[in-house]
Structures are given as structure tokens and as C-alpha cells.
Amino acid sequence: MNQFLLEQYKQLGLSEEVIVFGEKIENGLKSRFEKIDAIAEANQLKVLCAMQKNRVSAECFNQSSGYGYNDLGRDTLEKVYADTFKGEDALVRPQITCGTHALALALLSNLRPGDELLSPVGKPYDTLEEVIGIRPSRGSLAEYNITYAQVDLLADGGFDWDGIQNVINERTKLVTIQRSKGYATRPTLSVDRIGELISFIKNIKPDVICMVDNCYGEFVEEKEPLEVGADMIVGSLIKNPGGGLAPIGGYICGKKECIENAAYRLTSPGLGKEVGASLGIMQSFYQGFFLAPTVTAGALKGAVFAANIYEKLGFKVVPNSTQSRHDIIQAVEFGNKEAMCAFCEGIQAAAPVDSYVIPEGWAMPGYDSDVIMAAGAFVQGSSIELSADGPIKEPYAVYFQGGLTWYHAKTGILMSLQKLYERKLVKLDELC
């Protein structure tokens, strides 16, 4: 490392031991980073092609208000998403307030009373428990007499084929498959494994709707789940596909009928996709989507770097240092609150915004234990930006993600290590 760069890191408050250790780890990751770059390059071209094919023009960035009839920018963007992700249609809206909302919308609009929802990949993301009614809540699927069945993954992370076959019945209408691990320490599913699962399910029941919770998965691989048989993919624009620029939003992409159901529920029966003003944020949606492949690649490098750093220091990391990646999340199990909080303090201290605050646990809506979150983001709660969070309970696992650039992700990880090092929660001497 040259002297100038070393000085810059020191200015931020990093010790030489931490910097040197980080450099050593990074030097071992060159070939992994090359593969990540190759995927980003292919995905960049995919997005570019979709924008050219759909004749994206300066008019697309104009703002609409009121009903938003004939909003060229909104309608064209939905075609760009559909072409990029290989769906028939898409709903990409600022009126979809977050990922949970997008998922709730997809479920509540495509299920009817008497239907059953199945998760063949274990417990879904925490906030979906109230959507489904696993934890009772107003307006849940359970309140509408939509039942829920779940088949857990086997101990080795594999699918429980027999269990899935046994539970599918005449009422099974929709299958929800979460690509990312969420707040669980199970492996993330690759697009190919999702494809195997969907083929198996469609073989038993061809007309079942297969939905993939695609949060954190977009642009991590060359393929997306619609290319392996999914009917719907759902995600948040303050994660990967917003590229860090979208200030709000969610998307649903897939079969025309599924999207139509969702649009009729988001706005109103009869109105569907025809209304919904874009209020001047279209440029950020387009530009963010354009940048998303490279932003995602930077975040992915950060995750790989973090896994290699913390595994070397003796912590359990999921995925581990060498496993393939299918989302941008890195879990690190610290086993105690002190180390977990030190990690989060470091991430916060590395942020461009609110770097001077110290994160603390709080009872976040939708979660059943205190959650600590470190994020100094331009967009509130954006987790494509450098961020870390986790429920403060056993095994004290932190979920790290994001970084709008690889350099910032790297700095965040080094700063987290700095906090652990200063508190003597890790030893670096013999590793340097």
C-alpha cells in the first residue's frame, strides 16, 4: 500500500495493524473479485439493452402529478424492469413503500379466501410473520381465511422433498420462496436451486403461483428467478435495484396476470396500473437501475471481504470465506452483545452521514426482539448503502450489507475491526 493511501486510512482513525491485516486479506481475493466484475459487466449490458430497446428518452424523466394518467416515464420504466428481469410485465412504484409492502401486496392480491400459502424454505423474513398472520396482526392473510403451511429446510440446508410433496394440496395456491437468508443463518438460495425447487413443485401442481422474495438478490448472478420458472419476483428499491439513488419504492415483476392482480390491489379494482403519479422521482429510478449492477458488485466485494476478515479471526461467518454468493448479505456470529455492538459502531463510524452517532438497540416495528442498526445513509434505512443490523439475541449475529462503492464497504469493515481491536475483543498481532 502506498504511503498516501495509508495516511488517508490513518486519518479516518484506523490503526496500522488493522490496515495491514485488511490488505493481506484483500490480496488473496483478486480472482474472486474478477468473477464479481464479470457478472457486473454482463448485467450492465442487460440493463443498457433494456433501456435502449424501450426507447428511454428525456421525456421519461418528466414529472406527473394528480392521477398520473399516461405517465410515459412510469410505464417505460416498468417495461425496462420487465425486459431486464425477463418478466411479461412489472409494477415499479414509489407508492410501494418498502420491501415488506411489495411482498404483502403480491400476496394479498394473488390469494383469495380459502387458499393456502406455502413456504417450502422455512420461516420467512421477520416482517412477513405479521403479513401472513404467524404473529396475529390486523389485515393479515389469516384474517382473510388464507392459511399458511411451512416446510423447513433440512439440517444440511437441503430441500425436504418429501415434506413438500406431502403438504401440497388442492388449496395450495401460492408458494413463496425467499432467496436471501434474511435474519436466519441458513444458506442463501442460488437461482439454479430456486429453479430446481420450482420445477419440483410445478410437477406436482402446475398451476401454483411461485413467488420469489428477491430482496438483496438482484444482479448478484447473471440470471434472475423468472428465468428458471418463477411467476413473480418481488423486491425493494432501497436495496439492489435502486442502485442507491431511488429514495423509495418497490417492484413486482413477472406474469401479466399476477402483476395485474397486484396493480388492482395497489390502486383500485378497475384502475390498476393506469394511475399513480411519479412525482418527479423517475430519473432517480432509471439512473439507480442503470448503476445497480456495479453498485451491487461493490457491495458483494464488501461481503466477501468481511467474510474473509472475520473467519480468519475465528468467528462463524455465513456464507463462509469461500462459498459462492447469491445475495449481498454477510452474517457474522459474534456470540456476545459487546462484540456485536462494537461491530455496528464501526460501521456507523465509517458512514458519510451521521458518523458521529452511536447505534443502540430498539424495538423496531415488525420485529419481536430489540434490533440494533448501523446506517449512516443518504436514504433513510437504505440497505444497499453500507449498513449492519441484527436482532439482539442469541447467537448475536450481525447482518452486514451494502456499500455504494467497494472502497466504502472496505473502509466500513476495517472500521468495524478497529472497534473490536481497540476493545481487545480480537487479537491481530500474530496474524499480521
Ligand X SMILES: *Cc1c(COP(=O)(O)O)cnc(C)c1O
Which residues, numbered 147-166, are part of the site for ligand X (CB under 6 A)? none
Sole binder of ligand X in the list 213, 224, 345, 389 (CB under 6 A): 213
Walk across the sheet containing 397-401 and list its strands: 316-318, 330-333, 397-401, 387-391, 371-375
Which residues, numbered 377-406, are part of the site for ligand X (CB under 6 A)? none
Q: Which residue has the cell 379466501?
A: 113
Report the nearest approach of ligand X to the CB of residue 98 (Å). Answer: 3
Which residues, numbered 68-107, are part of the site for ligand X (CB under 6 A)? 98-100, 103
Report the nearest approach of ligand X to the CB of residue 182 (Å). Answer: 4
DSSP per position, 10-40: HHTT--HHHHHHHHHHHHTTHHHHHHHHHHH
Comparing every residue's Cβ against ligand X, the nearest one is: 99
Sole binder of ligand X in the list 22, 182, 272, 361 (CB under 6 A): 182
Interface with ligand X by CB under 6 A: which range of 21-29, 46-54, 56-64, 213-221?
A: 213-221
Which residues, numbered 259-278, are part of the site for ligand X (CB under 6 A)? none
Sole binder of ligand X in the list 43, 180, 240, 387 (CB under 6 A): 180
Q: Interhelix angle for 282-312 vs 16-27, to 10°? A: 100
Residue 170 DSSP class: T
Interface with ligand X by CB under 6 A: which range of 142-150, 176-184, 265-273, 312-320?
A: 176-184
| C-alpha dist (Å) from residue 27 to 17, 30, 340, 418 | 16, 6, 26, 19
Report the nearest approach of ligand X to the CB of residue 167 (Å). Answer: 22
The nearer residue to ligand X, 317 or 371, going by C-beta atoms, is 371
Sole binder of ligand X in the list 127, 140, 188, 190 (CB under 6 A): 127
DSSP per position, 338-386: HHHHHHHHHHHHT-SSSTT-----B--TT-SS-EEEEE--SSTT-SSSS
Report the nearest approach of ligand X to the CB of residue 327 (Å). Answer: 8
- CB-based contact 150:168 (threshold 8 Å): no
The nearer residue to ligand X, 172 or 178, going by C-beta atoms, is 178
CA atoms within 13 A on the CB side of 331: 21
From the centroid of its chain, how far is CA 148? Answer: 24
Report the nearest approach of ligand X to the CB of residue 74 (Å). Answer: 20
The nearer residue to ligand X, 217 or 412, going by C-beta atoms, is 217
Confirm or reject binding of residue 21 to ligand X (CB under 6 A). no
Residues in the interface with ligand X (CB under 6 A) total 13
| C-alpha dist (Å) from residue 429 to 102, 196, 401, 421 | 48, 46, 27, 10
The nearer residue to ligand X, 98 or 279, going by C-beta atoms, is 98
The nearer residue to ligand X, 84 or 383, going by C-beta atoms, is 383
The nearer residue to ligand X, 236 or 261, going by C-beta atoms, is 236
Walk across the sheet containing 172-178 and list its strands: 89-93, 250-254, 232-236, 209-213, 172-178, 116-119, 147-150
The nearer residue to ligand X, 129 or 231, going by C-beta atoms, is 129
- CB-based contact 251:237 (threshold 8 Å): yes
In 79-189, DSSP assigns E strands to: 89-93, 116-119, 147-150, 172-178
Report the nearest approach of ligand X to the CB of residue 216 (Å). Answer: 5
213 has which bridge partners? 178, 234
Sole binder of ligand X in the list 61, 216, 343, 396 (CB under 6 A): 216
**Alpha-carbon gap, residue 80 to 249, rounded angstroms:** 16
The nearer residue to ligand X, 119 or 261, going by C-beta atoms, is 119
Confirm or reject binding of residue 178 to ligand X (CB under 6 A). yes
Report the nearest approach of ligand X to the CB of residue 234 (Å). Answer: 8
- The Cβ of residue 66 has, within 10 Å, a number of other Cβ atoms equal to 7
Confirm or reject binding of residue 125 to ligand X (CB under 6 A). yes
The nearer residue to ligand X, 181 or 410, going by C-beta atoms, is 181
| C-alpha dist (Å) from residue 193 to 112, 153, 198, 225, 269 | 28, 13, 9, 10, 36
Site map for ligand X, 225-244, x if CB under 6 A? -----------x--------
Q: Footprint of ligand X on this chain (CB under 6 A)?
A: 98-100, 103, 125, 127, 178, 180, 182, 213, 215-216, 236
